Structure 1
Amino acid sequence: MEQFLYYIKVSLVSIKRAPLPYALTIFILSVGLGVFFANATFYYQLNSDPLPAKSNKLFFPMMLITPYDCNDCRPPRVLSYANVQKLANSDIPSAKAAMYSADGYARLSSSQPPTPVVIRITQRDFFAMFDVPLLHGSFWADDGGRFEILLSRAMALKLFGRTDVVGEQMLLDDKHFSVIGVLNHWQMLPRLYDANGRNHLSPTEDIFLPLETGYDLHYLSKTNSQTFDSTDYRKLSTEGRTGALHQLQYWVQLDTETQQQAYRQFMLNLANDEKAAGRHPAPINNQLTAMRDIVSYFGDESGDIQAFALVTLLFLLVCLFNASHLSLNRYLSNQYEFSLRRALGASRAQLQLQMLADVLLMALFTIVGALLTGYVGIKLMNHLLPGNSLFSSWDIPLLLSLLTITLVCSYLVTLYPSLRASFGTLNQQLKE
């Protein structure tokens, strides 16, 4: 420890001898790494796996069950109520849930002004499939229609000023509902259960409503809906359940490879039955896409973040090159000192340890500057790209990764001067 403190002291003396090149090196590294940190934060969060224990077990089945002929067509991203019922007519999945989202207005009484809310209309298995935490109350007992809702924690606080509101009554679009549960703080990042049209970048919904109730009350999807016949979207409770009005997303949980193969065969048999009945004129095109692949399948990757990632990586390489050049100038100004230490018997290993002490000091100063620069960069990107603001948080794994990158970059900047100081010709160094 005493020797290490001595190396730190020597590094500080070296910094005082040439403060300007050192300050410029720190500044260039801080800017390069800070810009890189800002974009890496968004890239890391957007490409993270929100359910690492389940992402290879949750699947999004899609079938070209549409009343028209089409060659080389991809299945619709959303399904009709009737088609979901056909897909759900299997005991192979461990869990299954249909869903969509809608807009609405909530309030406690008719005398209050309404509050705009986003509603997730779904089924009971949704909460178990996506590991939704419950703070108070319970989930629905089954998938039947009922005037019972669950609130997000934030919505419970906004409407009632507290979270323990199980049993309370409220109005949702002027219909009376009973609150049976309140979710704990929960935000899936990215929100892969709704990847249509880049909706995976959106925050969690405010209210959760049973699917059958949503159809009974004629809630139309606010994100993606299309009809392939004369179904009237204003008659969801009747025509919406039988016609070709597509607005539902459907997820199944298949825990084993055997279940996955069996469900693929089930989908194939269903498609053949539809063709035999004359309801499926198009060629069979079934897809069973895993949750971790759903965004890439839909082609909804964030291209702006990927472009920024490439640009910032190139910018970081330029900063490393310039910082290495400045570090070499520092070495040249202190070359006689290194040579004298070698002449007095210092080994190459001791010189390397001295350089590592210098690296640690540089990394310490750089990480402070880089985090400040990264924080400013994140705020700027949130302003320019508000849709990505949910993905601007730092967690422990990300911070540890950024710290490691800083140490590696600091070492790379001093690598060539370190090698030149340790392995150069001593006579030549003393003459210089």
Structure 2
Amino acid sequence: MEQFIYYLKVSFVSIKRAPLPYALTIFILSVGLGIFFANATFYYQLNSDPLPHKSSKLFFPMMLLAPYECTDCKPPAVLSYSNIEKLSQSDIPSAKTAMYSADGYLRKNAEQTPMPVNIRITQRDFFSMFDVPLLHGSVWPDNSARLEIILSKATAEKLFGRTDAVGEKLLLDDRHLTVTAVLDDWQMLPRLYDANNRNHLSPADDIYLPLETGYDMNYLSNTQSQTFDDTDYRKLSTQGRTGALNQLQYWVQLDTPTAQQAYKQFMANLAQDEKVAGRHPSEPNNQLVAMRNIVNYFGGESSDIKAFALVTLLFLLVCLFNASHLSLNRYLGNQYEFSLRRALGASRGQLQLQMLADVLLMAVFTIAGALLTGYAGIKLMNHLLPRNSLFSSWDLPLLLSLLAVAFICSYLVTLYPSLRASFGTLNQQLKE
């Protein structure tokens, strides 16, 4: 340890001898790494797996259950209520849920000004399938219609100034509902359970309503709906359950490869039965999309982030090249000192330790500058791409990875000078 402290002192002396080239090296590295940090943050968060222990078991089944003839058509991204009923007849999934989102206005009583809320209209398995944590209360015991509502933690605090709101009465679009549960802090990033139309970039919903109640209250989807007949979307409580009005997304949990294969066969049999019955004349085109592939399936991957990733990587390489060139110039200025140490008996290993001490100092200064630059870059990208602002946080694995990248880059910058100092011809170095 004492020897390493000595190496650090020698590095400080070297810095004082030529502070400007050293500062310029740090600046170039900090800018390159900072911009890389900013883009890497978004890229990492957007491509992360929010449920790594379960995502391989969650699937999005889609079928071409539409009353028209089509060749080579993709299945509709949303299904009708009657389609969901047919897909739900199988007991193969260990959990299953249908859902959609809608807009509404919520308030405590008729005297209060209503506030706009985003409603997730879904079924009880939604909370267990996507690991939604509860802070107070409990989820609905079944999927029947009930005048009950589940609040997010932020919504409960906004309405009541507290989180324990179980049993409270609320008005949702002038309909009286009872709060049965309040969620804990929860935000799936990315929100893969609703990836259609790039909704995976959106924040979590404000409130949660039973699916049957949503239909009874005539809530239409605020993201995507389409009809293939004369169903009146204003009469969801009646026509919406029997007509070809598509607005529902459907998820199933299939825990084993055997279950996955069995459910594919169930979908094939269902499609064939529907075709024979004449309800869906097109050739079957069933899709069972894994959760990790859902964004790509819907074409929702951000080309902007990919383009930024490539540009910032190239920019980082340019910065590394320039910083390495400056570091080499510093070495040439101190070459006689290294040569003299070799002549006095310093081993190549000792010279490498001296270089590592220099790398450590450079990494500390570079990391500080890169974090500041990265933070500024994230703020700028949030301004340019507001929908991606949810994905601008640093978690521990990401931060450790970024620090490791900064250290590796600092080492690469001094690698060539280190090799020149350790393995160059001593006589030639002393002459220079």
Per the normalisation by structure 1, the TM-score is 1.00
Letter in 2 for 1:328: L
Letter in 1 for 2:291: M
* Paired position in structure 1 for 2:77: 77
Q: SS of the residue aligned with 1:237?
A: helix
* Paired position in structure 2 for 1:369: 369
Letter in 1 for 2:113: P
Instruction: Give CA deviations for 1:88-118 in whole Å, capped at 9, x if unaligned.
Output: 0010000000000000000001111110000
* Paired position in structure 1 for 2:339: 339
Alignment coverage as a number of residue pairs: 432
* Paired position in structure 2 for 1:62: 62
Distance 2:305 2:3 in 1: 46
Instruction: Give CA deviations for 1:289-344 in whole Å, capped at 9, x if unaligned.
Output: 01011001111101111110000000000000000000000000100000000000
Distance 1:72 1:10 in 2: 71
- Mapping of residues 18-97 of structure 1, within 5 Å: 18-97=18-97
Following TM superposition, by how much is the alpha carbon of 1:280 offset from its aligned partner in structure 2, in angstroms? 1.3
Following TM superposition, by how much is the alpha carbon of 1:285 offset from its aligned partner in structure 2, in angstroms? 0.3
Following TM superposition, by how much is the alpha carbon of 1:133 offset from its aligned partner in structure 2, in angstroms? 0.2
* Paired position in structure 1 for 2:299: 299
* Paired position in structure 2 for 1:402: 402
Q: SS of the residue aligned with 1:101?
A: strand
Following TM superposition, by how much is the alpha carbon of 1:407 offset from its aligned partner in structure 2, in angstroms? 0.7
Q: SS of the residue aligned with 2:190?
A: coil
Following TM superposition, by how much is the alpha carbon of 1:170 offset from its aligned partner in structure 2, in angstroms? 0.6
Distance 2:150 2:393 in 1: 27
Instruction: Give CA deviations for 1:194-252 in whole Å, capped at 9, x if unaligned.
Output: 00010000000000000000000000000011111111111101111011100000000
- CA RMSD in angstroms comes to 0.4
* Paired position in structure 1 for 2:155: 155
- The reply to whether residue 202 of structure 1 matches residue 202 of structure 2 is yes
- Mapping of residues 86-165 of structure 1, within 5 Å: 86-165=86-165
Following TM superposition, by how much is the alpha carbon of 1:386 offset from its aligned partner in structure 2, in angstroms? 0.6
Distance 1:213 1:73 in 2: 33
Q: SS of the residue aligned with 1:238?
A: helix
* Paired position in structure 2 for 1:7: 7
Distance 1:362 1:71 in 2: 62
Instruction: Give CA deviations for 1:59-98 in whole Å, capped at 9, x if unaligned.
Output: 0000001000111110011000000000000100000000
- Mapping of residues 167-182 of structure 1, within 5 Å: 167-182=167-182
Runs of 4+ residues deviating >6 angstroms: none
- Mapping of residues 206-217 of structure 1, within 5 Å: 206-217=206-217
Q: SS of the residue aligned with 1:299?
A: coil
Q: SS of the residue aligned with 1:360?
A: helix
Distance 1:413 1:18 in 2: 17
Distance 2:229 2:302 in 1: 33
* Paired position in structure 1 for 2:258: 258
Counting aligned pairs with the same residue, the percent is: 80
Q: SS of the residue aligned with 1:117?
A: strand
* Paired position in structure 2 for 1:329: 329
Distance 1:192 1:392 in 2: 17
* Paired position in structure 2 for 1:192: 192
Following TM superposition, by how much is the alpha carbon of 1:283 offset from its aligned partner in structure 2, in angstroms? 1.1
Letter in 1 for 2:369: G
Per the normalisation by structure 2, the TM-score is 1.00
- Mapping of residues 216-255 of structure 1, within 5 Å: 216-255=216-255
Instruction: Give CA deviations for 1:122-143 in whole Å, capped at 9, x if unaligned.
Output: 0000000000000000000100
Distance 1:270 1:39 in 2: 45
* Paired position in structure 1 for 2:380: 380
Instruction: Give CA deviations for 1:156-207 in whole Å, capped at 9, x if unaligned.
Output: 0001110001000010001000000000000000000000010000000000
* Paired position in structure 2 for 1:320: 320
* Paired position in structure 2 for 1:424: 424
Q: SS of the residue aligned with 1:170?
A: strand
